[in-house]
A and B are shown apart, each in its own frame.
Chain A
Amino acid sequence: MTTIEKTADDAARQGAGDDGTPLLEVRDLHVEFHTRDGVAKAVNGVNYSVHAGETLAVLGESGSGKSVTAQAIMGILDMPPGRIPQGQILFRGEDMLTMSGEERRKIRGRKIAMIFQDALSALNPVLSVGYQLGEMFRVHQGLSKKEAKAKAIELMDRVRIPAAKERVSDYPHQFSGGMRQRIMIAMALALEPDLIIADEPTTALDVTVQAQVMDLLAELQREFNMGLILITHDLGVVADVADKIAVMYAGRIVETAPVHELYKRPAHPYTRGLLDSIPRLDRKGQELYAIKGLPPNLLKIPSGCAFNPRCPKAQDICRTEVPALVPVTEQDGTELPGRGSACHFWKETLHG
Chain B
Amino acid sequence: MADAEKNETAVEPAAAATPNVTEVETVDAATEEEAVAALEAKVDRGEPILQVRNLVKHFPLTQGILFKRQIGAVKAVDGISFDLYQGETLGIVGESGCGKSTVAKLLMTLETATAGEVFYKGQDITKLSGRALRAVRRNIQMVFQDPYTSLNPRMTVGDIIGEPFEIHPEVAPKGDRRRRVQELLDVVGLNPEYINRYPHQFSGGQRQRIGIARGLALNPEIIICDEPVSALDVSVQAQVINLMEGLQDEFNLSYIFIAHDLSIVRHISDRVGVMYLGKMAEIGSDTEIYDHPTHPYTQALLSAVPVPDPESREGRERIILTGDVPSPANPPSGCRFRTRCWKAEDKCAKEIPLLAIPERFANTDSPAAHESACHFAEEKDVVHA
CB-CB under 8 A from A273, the residues of chain B are 235
Q: Name A199-252 residues within 8 Å CB distance of B.
A: 206-212, 214-215, 233-240
Smallest distance from the beta carbon of B274 to chain A beta carbons, Å? Answer: 12
Q: Which of A62, A207, A284, A285 contacts B304 (CB 8 A)?
A: A207
Chain A positions 158 through 181: 1 when the CB is less than 8 Å from some CB of chain B, otherwise 0: 000010000000000000111100
Interface status of B380 (Cβ within 8 A of chain A): no
Interface status of A95 (Cβ within 8 A of chain B): no
Complex Cα spacing A241 to B318, Å: 14
Is the Cβ of B263 less than 8 Å from the Cβ of A281? Answer: yes
Q: Name B314-359 residues within 8 Å CB distance of A.
A: 318, 320-325
| Contact A239 B266, CB 8 Å, known A176-B324, A278-B234, A295-B233 | no
Smallest distance from the beta carbon of B11 to chain A beta carbons, Å? Answer: 26
Complex Cα spacing A210 to B320, Å: 10
Which residue on chain B has the smallest CB distance to residue A282? B383
Is the Cβ of B309 less than 8 Å from the Cβ of A239? Answer: yes
Smallest distance from the beta carbon of A266 to chain B beta carbons, Å? Answer: 11
Is the Cβ of A290 less than 8 Å from the Cβ of B25? Answer: no
Q: Which of A270, A274, A278, A294 contacts B206 (CB 8 A)?
A: A294
Interface status of A126 (Cβ within 8 A of chain B): no
| Contact A282 B234, CB 8 Å, known A236-B305, A236-B307, A287-B242 | no
The size of the chain A interface, using a CB distance under 8 A, is 51
Interface status of A291 (Cβ within 8 A of chain B): yes
Is the Cβ of A275 less than 8 Å from the Cβ of B308? Answer: yes
Determine which residue in A62, A215, A238 has the highest number of CB atoms from chain B within 10 A of its CB, and name it.
Answer: A62
Is the Cβ of B321 less than 8 Å from the Cβ of A208? Answer: yes
CB-CB under 8 A from B324, the residues of chain A are 176-179, 209
Interface status of B273 (Cβ within 8 A of chain A): no
Complex Cα spacing A117 to B1, Å: 46
Shortest Cβ-Cβ A-B pairs, 9 listed: A236-B306, A279-B267, A277-B238, A206-B95, A235-B308, A290-B238, A61-B233, A211-B304, A288-B238
Smallest distance from the beta carbon of B23 to chain A beta carbons, Å? Answer: 11
Which residue on chain B has the smallest CB distance to residue A211? B304
Is the Cβ of A287 less than 8 Å from the Cβ of B29? Answer: no
Q: Name A255-303 residues within 8 Å CB distance of B.
A: 259-260, 263-264, 270, 273-275, 277-292, 294-295
Chain B positions 215 through 241: 1 when the CB is less than 8 Å from some CB of chain A, otherwise 0: 000000000000000000111111101
CB-CB under 8 A from A284, the residues of chain B are 24-25, 27-28, 266-267, 286-287
Smallest distance from the beta carbon of B155 to chain A beta carbons, Å? Answer: 22
Interface status of B196 (Cβ within 8 A of chain A): no
Q: Which of B242, B304, B307 contacts A290 (CB 8 A)?
A: B242
Is the Cβ of A236 less than 8 Å from the Cβ of B239? Answer: no
Smallest distance from the beta carbon of A63 to chain B beta carbons, Å? Answer: 8
CB-CB under 8 A from B305, the residues of chain A are 207, 236, 281
Which residue on chain A has the smallest CB distance to residue B340? A208
**30 A-B pairs in the complex with CB atoms less than 8 angstroms apart:** A206-B96, A206-B325, A207-B262, A207-B304, A208-B300, A210-B306, A211-B320, A212-B320, A237-B306, A239-B309, A239-B310, A240-B310, A260-B310, A263-B308, A263-B310, A274-B234, A277-B235, A278-B234, A279-B268, A280-B307, A281-B262, A281-B263, A281-B266, A281-B383, A283-B28, A284-B28, A290-B239, A292-B239, A295-B203, A295-B235
